[in-house]
Amino acid sequence: MCATNPSPSAAGRETTENDAPDVSGAPAPIVRGEPVQVSDGVYVIPDRRVELVPNVGIIVGEKAALVIDTGMGPGNGAYVLRQARRLAGERRLYLTVTHFHPEHGFGAQAFEGAATMVYNRGQRDELHRKGPAYLDMFRGLGPNIAAELEGVEFVDPDLVYDGQTEIDLGGHTAALRTVGPAHTASDQVVLIDDRVLFGGDLFETRIFPITPYFPPHDTDVDPERWISVLDQLSALGPEVVVPGHGEVTDVSLIHDVRDYLTYVRDEAGRLRAAGVSADEAAAAIDKQARDRWSAWERPEWISFTARAFYDADKRTTTS
């Protein structure tokens, strides 16, 4: 969930879903292009920095292949399935998603009957709990987006796990780990052969972290725990890091995102302790972060992150 067409900052007033960046003029969120090999047996269909298109993973082993994320809607899901079949041939297919957001998992119906779908329990439950509302919200973001969501049907996974599980693809092992709540209540990372890390929207290249903090409707994002999750992922020492959006890179991306979140946390706590209001704190942090990370896109999300930390600090203080 991200945006490339800036709207006025929401800093200085209560943030809602309507304050999220305006994507109505963005290109159609269509997964395109050939899979690119980023490591032995590991392919990525790059997002090309197109709004609401994820980096899609396809890992091909000797006996099975795993697809990570589907793109938004049945058309994108069908395209990803064709690319996976082209690489995997008649090997068994698995599908998993990094989190339930529409551009990452709302193409899963194309895989029904063609792949074994594996989610963590929280992903399945979050899809049940929030899927219809997010479908309606995303349909309202613009005609190009609504067109890709035409005909979306929600499908349940074939296998559900708790904590973590592994899929032996033959010569390659995919470790699926539940790490949420962070960006969402049920984030999942996928580590291939202890070398290649798919992290969904826990980190994005040169993009301010997307913090879907819309009180009172959706407050599942946990920014403090998000920092801890990034520490854990950094300690894994992955050689290749595949973000939810943006270019494939290395572990330095995880450090960069952690540094940003830590900065916002510390500033939100400091300003709140000084008696600064939430509106004023969000505005101040917004300005400072835009200057400090001037090369990053989607600065409209800064104020959402600031408010999430401000309110989390408030809850901690009053508990």
E strand spans, 146-304: 159-161, 164-168, 173-178, 188-192, 196-198, 240-242
**Whole-number pLDDT of residue 25:** 77
User: Who's near 43: CB < 8 A, 6+ residues apart?
Assistant: 35, 36, 37, 57, 58, 59, 60, 87
Domain ranges of the chain: 17-318
Q: Identify the DSSP state of 12.
A: T
Band (pLDDT 50/70/90 cuts) for residue 8 is: very low
Q: What is the pLDDT of residues 163-180, one digit of tens each?
A: 999 999 999 999 999 999
Q: Is the pLDDT of residue 2 over 50?
A: no
**Whole-number pLDDT of residue 19:** 62
Band (pLDDT 50/70/90 cuts) for residue 313 is: low
Q: What is the mean pLDDT of residues 9-14?
A: 40
C-alpha–C-alpha distance, residues 7 and 222, integer Å: 25
Q: What is the mean pLDDT of residues 249-267?
A: 98
Predicted TM-score (pTM) of the model is: 0.92
> Which residue, chain included where needed, has tokens 């539940």?
178
Q: What is the mean pLDDT of residues 237-261?
A: 98
Q: Is the pLDDT of residue 20 over 80?
A: no
Band (pLDDT 50/70/90 cuts) for residue 7 is: very low
Q: Is the pLDDT of residue 80 over 50?
A: yes
What share of the chain in percent tops pLDDT 90?
Answer: 88
**Whole-number pLDDT of residue 9:** 37
Q: What is the pLDDT of residues 101-124, one digit of tens each?
A: 999 999 999 999 999 999 999 999
**Whole-number pLDDT of residue 220:** 94
**Whole-number pLDDT of residue 13:** 41
Band (pLDDT 50/70/90 cuts) for residue 26 is: confident
Q: Is the pLDDT of residue 89 over 60?
A: yes
**Whole-number pLDDT of residue 181:** 97
Q: What is the pLDDT of residues 40-71, one digit of tens each?
A: 999 999 999 999 999 999 999 999 999 999 99
Averaged pLDDT score across all residues of the chain: 92
> Which residue, chain included where needed, has tokens 């704190």?
281
More confident position, 305 or 7: 305
Q: Is the pLDDT of residue 314 over 90?
A: no
Q: Is the pLDDT of residue 292 over 90?
A: yes
Architecture of the domain made up of 17-318: 4-Layer Sandwich (3.60)
CA atoms within 13 A on the CB side of 169: 26
Q: State CA 125 to chain mean position distance.
A: 17
Q: Is the pLDDT of residue 73 over 70?
A: yes
C-alpha–C-alpha distance, residues 295 and 134, integer Å: 29
Q: What is the pLDDT of residues 214-240, one digit of tens each?
A: 998 899 999 999 999 999 999 999 999
Q: What is the pLDDT of residues 122-170, one digit of tens each?
A: 999 999 999 999 999 999 999 999 999 999 999 999 999 999 999 999 9
